[in-house]
Amino acid sequence: MGAGPTIRPARPDDLAALYLIALATGDAGQDAAALYRDPQLVGHLYAAPYAVLEPDSAFVAEDAVGVGGYILGAADTLDFEARMEGEWWPALRARYPDPGGDPQGWGLDEVRSHQIHHPRAPPARITAPYPSHLHINLMPRLQGRGMGKALIDRWLERMREVGSRGVHLGVSPQNHRAIRFYRTYGFDEFRFPRPRPEPDALYFVTTLPSPRG
């Protein structure tokens, strides 16, 4: 039998794989390929900018088939959002027009194009105590093998190294598998007062211990 999957830092030549994984898991953890006309839109928002702008916080899971999973994120969410505004969104805004008309008639391509022009930062009540955030996705062949936990372990170790005091992540309420995973791992659901500011997303958080001198 061949060796099992391994975790390593992401490289520039992994970018195509990150786009593929983002699309293959882009429908609440399921394959979203049939939902988009442009297969790169999901990756433009949730994968590629992290690998390009914050490569030191990007790791992939690789097996004999190739890269089949990733964990990406930012140590300082607000700083990352500012960098996106200056270094990532301008080129995409030139490529994808801001959709007009009634949003009720938009498809997912239009929804994601709107996000490119109007990115929505997490609420300050989350980013203040939990300044770092992550995105993690695995292809089905790597699921159920402990790779999700191993990726988060590796990523949180990196966040401790850079002195982060806390981490948050957003997940679709429809992604029940991911919600179970985050709860099992030890993340806590962030409880907003009602009404929720973002009814289409749940946030999970965890505090990181202060580095010892």
What residues of the chain score a pLDDT lower than 50?
Answer: 1, 213
The whole-model pTM stands at 0.92
SS3 (DSSP) at 119: coil
What pLDDT sits at residue 4? 83
DSSP string for residues in 132-185:
EEEEEEE-GGGTTTTHHHHHHHHHHHHHHHTT--EEEEEE-TT-HHHHHHHHHH
Tell whether 212 is covered by a domain: no
Tell whether 112 is covered by a domain: yes
Instruction: Let me know: does 160 contact 209? Beta carbons within 8 Å.
Output: yes
What pLDDT sits at residue 1? 43
Tell whether 147 is covered by a domain: yes
Tell whether 154 is covered by a domain: yes
> Where residue 20 sits, what CATH number does that domain have?
3.40.630.30
Nearest to 44 by CA among 36, 149, 75, 67: 36
Tell whether 213 is covered by a domain: no
Range of the domain at 95: 6-207
Tell whether 98 is covered by a domain: yes
What sign results for the dihedral spanned by CA atoms 188, 194, 197, 200? positive
What pLDDT, in 10s, does the model give residues 83-109?
999 999 999 999 999 998 899 999 999
What pLDDT sits at residue 18? 98
What is the rounded CA–CA span in Å between residue 182 and residue 148? 10
When divided into structural domains, the chain yields a total of 1
Tell whether 130 is covered by a domain: yes
